Amino acid sequence: MLDKKKKDKIIAKFKTHQNDTGSSEVQIAILTEEIKELTKHLKIHKKDFSSRRGLIKKVSQRRKLLRYLERENEEAFDKLVKELKIKITKRQDKLEEEEEVAAEEEKSEEEPEEESKEE
């Protein structure tokens, strides 16, 4: 559990406006710090399964908040991920979209070349 001083420092660093205490950015930063502490604890106490369950819940909650932030404000998402050094794996549906866009771009690039060869 984070003590009040650590939590206040995190809030001060990641707040988006003067009275901000609960924006997505702040929540993600707090969850990240709690995840780090729980990870350290679990390295020492390998059989503490109730803490492991809590860690999994926190990771899941952070993932949901990150997806929301990415959807709503991609700029803030990128900045936060870099600042907190969070590893992000691309979601399957996003990968499929990128592949479709790349395939369409390749088709559009190939068509003008064929026309210029015929002329």
- Regarding the domain with residue range 4-87, which homologous superfamily does it belong to in the CATH classification? S15/NS1, RNA-binding (1.10.287.10)
Q: Is the pLDDT score of 54 beyond 80?
A: yes
With residue 71 as reference, give the H or E element that holds it.
helix 49-72
**pLDDT (0 to 100) of residue 95:** 67
- Residue 9 phi/psi, 5-degree rounding, is -65, -45
- In the predicted structure, residue 72 carries a pLDDT above the cut 60: yes
The contacts of residue 28 (CB under 8 Å, 6+ apart) are 14, 62, 65, 66, 69, 80, 84
- If DSSP codes are grouped into helix, strand and coil, which group holds residue 45? coil
Mean pLDDT confidence for 93-98: 69
What is the predicted pLDDT for the residue at 113? 55
- Map out the domains of the chain as residue ranges: 4-87, 89-119
How far apart CA 70 and CA 76 sit, in angstroms, is 8
